Amino acid sequence: MDLNFDQYELEGDASPYALPNGLIAPVVTRGGLEDVQTADSGGAVRISGVSIQHTPAKRLWYGKVTNLPGYRSVSHHHGEAETGGYVLQGSARIYYGEEFGEYVDLETGDWVYVPPFMPHVECNMSTTKPLVWLTTRTPENLVVNLPDVDDADLDGFLRA
């Protein structure tokens, strides 16, 4: 079988990750060594496991997002990036729409897609347990924080 790897060439210097045949080797980010200098949005704290910061990835951001009990993100969107999320642990609510009057609820094991440029607020709906997401974004971790909304304007949200 003849494999064409030309389509997988990376821009820039990927030599630290290159095998003797020129292909890029898999890169492991060890737990505890993730990049913690990622953009955040208030109560949503992001760390990256796969990103341009510490792998040869150029068009992918993959990380973990944590909201402490009763905390939420500020209003934000992710620019041109498409976002996929998976609730690893907890109860989440994502507010969106006009004046953030619409929402979707998610529980452990649920997946969500958030389209580019959609203003939203991510909330931990539990006041006692953390919310942990796995999140992937293309082309990168774009976070555009917006003027925030009051907790009282988010139907059903209770801060710890």
The whole-angstrom separation of Cα 80 and Cα 96 is 17
73 touches 85 (CB < 8 A): no
Cis peptide before 139 (omega within 30 of 0): yes
Residues 6+ apart with CB under 8 A from 91: 105, 106, 107, 108, 124, 125, 126, 129, 131
Q: What is the DSSP letter of 18?
A: B
Output helix, strand, coil percentages for the chain, rounded to the nearest 5.
10, 40, 55
Rounded mean pLDDT of 6-27? Answer: 69
* Residue 48: pLDDT over 60: yes
* Residue 9: pLDDT over 50: no
Max mean pLDDT range (6-10, 17-21, 33-37, 101-105): 101-105
Split at pLDDT 50, 70, 90, the class of 8 is very low
Split at pLDDT 50, 70, 90, the class of 10 is very low
**For 17-31, 77-91, 98-112, which range has the lowest pLDDT when averaged over its residues?**
17-31
* Residue 152: pLDDT over 90: yes
